[in-house]
Amino acid sequence: MKTNFKDYLEKKQAQKAIDKIAKEYGYKRIILYGADLFAGDLIRNYDLSKLNVIGVADMQFKDNYEGDYYGYKKFSPYDLLETDFDLLLLTVYEDTEVKDFLKKDLFQGEDIKFEQKTLIKLNLFEYIKAVVRGEV
């Protein structure tokens, strides 16, 4: 059984989390990281207009810069170190793999000039359920 992300995001009060990030980061430049079903539901169903989102980064954009992703510019993760922004906001269902990739493979001890945050975090119980379902 797969997670219904629309219901999950509503349950996790996604708009409240978005508004909190907007208050904290004002007009600072934000790149969303993640372009899967979870991120798509988030972008389609919630108001991100208070965030200064300059684009979306994802591995699927590594060699594909054409077009946009729901109106946002596409970024390859490999271009993040050369891009001027303040916050990498993880918009993925489960962030462990992404955090490992960013730390061990992508940034490898580089001096990064931006913060990283996960917008919606799984709690331990949700993580265990997702593992049992084969979702992570």
Tell me the pTM.
0.86
Residue 6's pLDDT band, with cuts at 50, 70 and 90, is: confident
CB atoms inside a 10 Å sphere around CB 82 = 6
Ramachandran angles phi, psi of 118, nearest 5°: -100, 130
The model's confidence at residue 66, banded by pLDDT at 50, 70 and 90, is confident
pLDDT digits (tens, 9 = 90+) for 10-55: 988 999 999 999 999 988 999 999 999 999 999 999 999 999 999 9
DSSP assignments along 11-51, one per residue = HTTHHHHHHHHHHHHTT-EEEEE--SHHHHHHHHHS--TTS
> What does the pLDDT read at residue 1?
41
Q: Match domain 5-133 to its CATH number in 1.10.10, 3.40.50, 3.40.35, 3.20.20.
A: 3.40.50
Closest of 27, 25, 26, 85 to residue 55, by C-alpha? 85
Judged by average pLDDT, the poorest of 57-61, 87-91, 125-129 is 125-129
pLDDT cut 90: percent of the chain above it: 56
| pLDDT the model gives residue 104 | 81
Rounded Cα gap, residues 73 and 110, in angstroms: 24
What CA–CA distance (Å, rounded) separates 126 from 10?
A: 15
CB 37 within 8 A of CB 5: yes
Comparing 2 with 134, which gets the higher pLDDT? Answer: 134
Residue range 112-121: mean pLDDT, rounded: 88
Give residue limits of the domains in the chain.
5-133
